[in-house]
Structure 1
Amino acid sequence: MMLMIELQTDKIVKLPPPRLRSEISFEEALAKRRSIRSFRSTKLNWEELGQLLWAAQGITEKSEGLRTAPSAGALYPLEMYVILDEGVYQYQPRDHQLLRKLESNVRNALSRAALGQECVQRAPAVFAIAGVFERTARKYGERTARYVHLEAGHAAQNLLLQATALGLGAVPVGAFHDEQVEKVLKLPNGEKALYLIPVGRSAH
């Protein structure tokens, strides 16, 4: 069930609790994972969206805030967004909820920023991973870029495998103009676009 409540000018979506069991094994998910670029128009439901976001950056140990993906020094420099027809939402891991940041459909602009890729335009959901490098730089200095990019890969692979386990298709996208994506999503200063992952039900 989805609950939306007003919070100043934004809206919050309380996501259903994540499931800890899948219909297929981890090994089957590895074997079945493929890059899918053609999607049906069927929207993802909130349970699917929440499960994918939890797989990428969900909290697994509340007292210390540990997450599904490893992070150097447990500093967690990543921010997760999901782009839907209804707008752009930011994932808040601690409360397992979405905060709507934009109420407009930015799909066409996002596709242009991604070199016109149709999978970005047509997927019912596009997940974006951004990095706040300063969080890691305070401790790790010149190794920051390596650690943040590694962590983005960890989170993305979690999401891709979770999509497979849910019977969904997904594709990792790195071909985009960073600053254009950041402008389209109106990312705060200091957040850098690292990854786009279109997700949906395969058209084939």
Structure 2
Amino acid sequence: MIHNPIKDHLEFFDFELFYERLLEDESRSQAWRLHHLRQEDFSKHIMHRKKLTKSFVEKGANETEIPVKYSFTEDDFFETSILDILHKRRSIPLYEMSNNWTYQDLEKLLSLSAGISHQKQESHKENKSEDTALRVYPSGGLMYSVNLCLYSRNVSGLPDGMYYYDANQSNLKKLGGARTDAELEEMFPMTDFNLESKTKEIENISVMMFLVVDFERSFQKYGRLAYRLGLLEAGHIAQNIQLISTAINRNSHPYCGFYADRVEEELGIRKDKYKHCFYTLFLG
């Protein structure tokens, strides 16, 4: 397909076209049961969740696993009052970040922003019960469609490289090796074109996080509603990341301005039609 950049730009900012698409996907009372009632037996999707880790890691170069330990108490946090954390949460500019993250910081962040909270026993139509691992954020239909990947850059105790956070196994699986700062900057227009006046480089960033939505299972169950659910789930995780970063006295900056093609090439998922990066965050 040949794209016309000018035509694409005009359509991108055409509110009438945008409005039409909103109407197409909204949950209306008319024909709601036909279009929005979830499909298939829920128990089948629970089994699909168990296969997710392997399918995602197969996109990577290897399966080096690094445990993510949940071994900390309230005394390990700079802030423990929920009111203080909410009031102090900020999106810190890149030039104000301080590259001082440790792997222990990252363990706290991953466990409390995207990890497992507890097990829940579920019963199915076949009168069978099964434990389901619930996470620290809400997910439509317990699909947990969002995968959390990260690039470690000068994190003390963790080699540089791209990783996938496997919440069910509580570990990081390595997807790729170290990249130069120039290669990393090319994934974001803010650093690629120096769009922020004081952002000349990424020298103060310790971690880049990538929230990747996998529609392979959620679309089967929810159809086009899966897109909205993916956005919401990514937002829940991103908010947790910012709040926990604040609690451990570290900086974060959520960022939606990235080149999807370059990011997904780095993650090894560009040719996978089900997986798409929706959101990124900088930690420093």
Give the C-alpha shift of residue 104 in structure 1: 2.3
| Cα distance change on mapping 1:60 and 1:11 into 2, 3 Å | same
TM-score of the aligned structures, taking structure 2 as reference length: 0.63
Aligned pairs for 1:88-167 (under 5 A) are 88-105=162-179, 107-117=181-191, 118=199, 121-122=202-203, 123-167=205-249
Q: Are positions 1:41 and 2:125 aligned together? A: no
SS at match of 2:209: strand
| Cα distance change on mapping 1:79 and 1:193 into 2, 3 Å | same
The structure with more radius of gyration: 2
> Aligned partners of 2:84, 2:261: CA distance in 1, in Å?
37
Q: Would you say the 8 A contact 2:163–2:172 is kept in 1?
A: yes
> Aligned partners of 2:180, 2:144: CA distance in 1, in Å?
27
Q: Would you say the 8 A contact 1:53–1:80 is kept in 2?
A: no
Give % identity.
26
Match of 1:5 in 2: none
SS at match of 2:91: coil
Aligned pairs for 1:1-204 (under 5 A) are 9-17=62-70, 19=72, 21=74, 22=77, 23-37=79-93, 38=95, 39-42=97-100, 44-62=101-119, 63-85=131-153, 86-105=160-179, 107-117=181-191, 118=199, 121-122=202-203, 123-187=205-269, 189=272, 190-200=274-284
Give the C-alpha shift of residue 107 in structure 1: 4.4
Name structure 2 gaps, 5 residues minimum.
Answer: 1-60, 120-130, 154-159, 192-198
What letter corresponds to residue 63 of structure 2 in structure 1?
D
Name structure 1 gaps, 5 residues minimum.
Answer: 1-7
| Cα distance change on mapping 1:141 and 1:192 into 2, 3 Å | same
Could you say which structure has the greater relative contact order, defined with CA pairs below 8 angstroms and 6 or more residues apart? 1
Structure 1 range deviating more: 165-174 or 115-124: 115-124
Structure with the higher fraction of residues in strand conformation: 1
Q: Deviations over 1:162-189 (max 9, x none)?
A: 0000100100000112122111222361
> Aligned partners of 2:168, 2:73: CA distance in 1, in Å?
17
| Cα distance change on mapping 1:192 and 1:20 into 2, 3 Å | farther
